[in-house]
A and B are shown apart, each in its own frame.
Chain A
Amino acid sequence: MDEVVAEYIRRTVLKIPRDEIMGVLRKWGFLSETQLGAINFRQTKDSISQEVVQLCEENSADVKQAAILDIIYNNIYPNKRVWSVYQMKKTGEETDLFDFTNFKKKFKRRLQSALKNVTISFREYEDNAIWIRIAWGTPYTKPNQYKTSYVVYHSQTPYVFISVSVLKSNLPLLCQALVVASNYHDIREMELRSHCLNSLKDIVFKRYSQNFQTHYPKQEKNVATENVDVRIIQEDKSEKERIQRVNREVFGDGPQPKLEFAQYKLETMFKSDPKMDVLEKREPFRCLVKFSSPDLLESLKSLVPAGMADAPLSPLLTCIPQKARNYFKIRERKGVLPGSFVRP
């Protein structure tokens, strides 16, 4: 077995939490049950990984199998990478049935005609998701298994989720291959990025609870009676209820998709007191506003009830799931983009 492959398998196994190694290896299916049974899981992870490599040696694992193991690892732990969402466009109404074999053939052919030194692996999952792993080389060097990009394509939709690696220069090539293989005409980046792949899918497939204008009957009042102490009187009860209602209308009832950032690039003019005359030239004041949080949309949802902001929140913040983007460019109000400034 190749040294490189052996080391790669060893490092991949090391990434997996000890209790889950068995499950991942089983999913991989490359080692037999007897071989799996022989592994001693009570030793250090280092030793476990060495044992696994030994067994892979017995079965003569090659790059292809190692790549599949890596796909499986990333499919179980997708949140370790940053995913960007792309949308493909078709002109015309052709609805050809999706043929996986054809797709694979076309994709490989297109990619390898431009760059021969790549390792391409595919794996199909039950939810109609196709995972593609590409290990990039250069015209003069073999593919580097540690420089990888991953693509998740739901064949029934025009959406593709790409996790770019360091080699951003290969991105146009990758996009081209996708478009050709899936019979689309164009692909564009949706300016939607996050670590949480499932949340991105939720946003794009509209699987989160959206804000509908429902009118709840008055029975709602019995819901929260946490504070029964009569000596503490909430003077603002009706105002608090109004805030909850507005919040519910804006954000919906269920959990919000998980995003970590919202970024607003401002290309607007600086508006100051004319007497102050801060900028002599009338050129746009370049400014970048970035909101970050472990769970951005949930934090926005709790802002007003926690008493940190006025209701209603700026539509620039609340439109994120509907517009399916979290990177915005704000220009002068010309009627195209919302020009209202975000208030802290």
Chain B
Amino acid sequence: MAVARPFDKLPALNSAALLLVGTDGSAQQRLAEAVLRERREFEISIHLATSLPLPAERDHLRPRIDLIVFIIDIKSKYSLKNVEASLAYVDASFFLGKVCFLVTGVGRVNNCSIEMNAIWKLRDVYCSPVLLCELEVERIQATTAQRLLRMLQICAGHVPGVSALTFGSLMRSSADD
């Protein structure tokens, strides 16, 4: 079973790799471009996939993945099912701060197909933060890109004194308040 493992490859110097998993290819593309527009001091590669596992043929070309973002469109039950199926192919050690859920489409209240309870369940079961956003709004897309970039920086170990696990538990305790 091709499972994504966080530490099975050596890191490259001053770089980070982000993996976006979700069914909406064009939204992923736009988000990736927004992330690349942000100012940063390290090399970045963004990998887009519909679901896991990733094709085994390209495994040797892939760098170490530092952060996996699962994108769920709140208007599409299909996207939630897809994410739930993909979670099975992620090694448990990834969930120590290197996974996050991005829920998009929250701007359109009338078109929600997924109950928020299902999202909170994912957050609790997988101990990972949930970001809510509306990618169709330019400004929010830019803000989300900034947040993801910052998280990526931490997960890749570029921020001294803050590890992915520290950050993850920080996000969790503030959410419970």
Q: Could you list which residues of chain A lie within 8 angstroms of chain B, going by C-beta atoms?
A: 227, 229, 231-236, 238-240, 305-310, 344
Contacts and interface: CB of A to CB of B under 8 A. Distances in A.
Interface stretch (B43-51, B124-132, B166-174): B43-51
Interface stretch (B6-14, B25-33, B98-106, B145-153): B25-33
B46 A235 contact: no
B58 interface: yes
Contact of B46 (A233, A239, A309, A344): A233
Interface centre among B51, B78, B79, by most A CB within 10 Å? B78
A308 B23 contact: yes
Contacts of A235: 19, 47-49, 54-55, 58, 62
Given A238-B55, A307-B50, A231 B36 contact: yes
A307 B76 CA distance: 10
Contacts of B38: none
Interface residues of B, number: 26
B50 A229 contact: no
Given A235-B55, A306-B24, A229 B47 contact: no
Q: Is the interface of B mostly helix, strand, loop or mixed?
A: mixed
Interface of B: 19, 22-26, 29, 32-33, 36, 44-51, 54-55, 58, 62, 76-79
A307 B23 CA distance: 5
A307 B29 CA distance: 13
Contact of A227 (B23, B29, B47): B29
B48 A236 contact: yes
A310 B24 CA distance: 12
A236 B23 CA distance: 11
Contacts of B19: 235
Given A240-B25, A307-B23, A308-B23, A234 B48 contact: yes
Contacts of B26: 306
B21 to A, nearest CB: 9
Contact of A233 (B24, B25, B47, B77): B47
Nearest to A235: B49
Contacts of A238: 55
Nearest to B61: A233
Nearest to A233: B47
Contacts of A305: 25
B46 A231 contact: yes
Nearest to A306: B24
Contact of A229 (B24, B36, B55, B76): B36
A236 B79 CA distance: 16
A309 B24 CA distance: 10
A310 B81 CA distance: 11
Nearest to B48: A234
Given A234-B48, A308-B23, A229 B33 contact: yes
B111 to A, nearest CB: 13
Nearest to B22: A307
Nearest to B27: A307
B32 A232 contact: yes
A239 B57 CA distance: 13
A231 B45 contact: yes
Contacts of B47: 233, 235
A232 B29 contact: yes
Contacts of A307: 22-25, 50, 78-79
Given A235-B55, A236-B55, 4 more contacts: A231-B36, A232-B48, A307-B23, A308-B76
Contact of A231 (B23, B25, B44, B62): B44
A314 B175 CA distance: 42
A28 B8 CA distance: 79
Contacts of A239: 50, 55
B36 A232 contact: yes
Contacts of B54: 235
Contacts of B78: 307-310, 344
Nearest to A231: B45
A307 B73 CA distance: 11
B23 A233 contact: no
B9 to A, nearest CB: 15
26 contacts: A227-B29, A231-B44, A232-B48, A233-B45, A234-B48, A235-B19, A235-B47, A235-B48, A235-B49, A235-B54, A235-B58, A235-B62, A236-B48, A236-B51, A239-B50, A306-B24, A307-B22, A307-B23, A307-B24, A307-B50, A307-B78, A308-B23, A308-B76, A308-B78, A344-B77, A344-B78
Nearest to B63: A233
Contacts of A310: 78
